[in-house]
Structure 1
Amino acid sequence: MDIETRLAKVEVEVGTDKEAIEKLTRAIDDLRASVERGFSEQRTAMERGFAEQRAALTELRLDTDHKIAELRRETNLNFRWLYGLNITNLTFTIGIIARMAGIV
């Protein structure tokens, strides 16, 4: 083989390699765009999920705050009854002691 034949063969191989490289570059760009779209969709879905979780937690917090406020009202009412019963028991006991001592 002479040099021109070799050179022609190398030029054909280089041209074929360039075409293959261009195809691979386009394929890589397409895959990169596909991955970016996938990441974007995944990020959007995650943000939507986080927003739903935040809304659920806010609703739960409001419900819990309402229940705690109701529990405090009931506790205050029960303490008032307890104090009233204690005062009644104290006056009853003082009255019994006073009757036994002959004061009344």
Structure 2
Amino acid sequence: GGGGGPGEDLPEEQEFHYVVTRRFSDFDRLDNHIKSAFWRHHLRSNLPCLPAKKIKYVIDHSQTDFVEQRRLDLEAYLKRLVQVPHASSNPDLHQFLGIPIE
């Protein structure tokens, strides 16, 4: 296998780059879907934690430093997520990344 199609993990020897424009709530929804898919699965404990949501009245969400740090944290979350066996074949993740599901 290894073609990265539905039901297959992305091949380890290939590196893929995706650009996604999403809100934090979209990442939160993805995280909930992935954790639900791994309910009672032995690999659930390997799933990365979504970076904490910062409260708007405490932190200015338009501040450049905040936006860049959140981007880096969410990018690291996705990189760790796709390294979990079976997570990279999850249809919710494929949809989130804009990968066509055949």
With the shorter chain as reference, the TM-score category is: under 0.3
- When normalised by structure 2's length, the TM-score is 0.23
* Higher RCO structure, 1 or 2 (CA under 8 Å, sep 6+): 2
TM-score, normalization: structure 1? 0.23
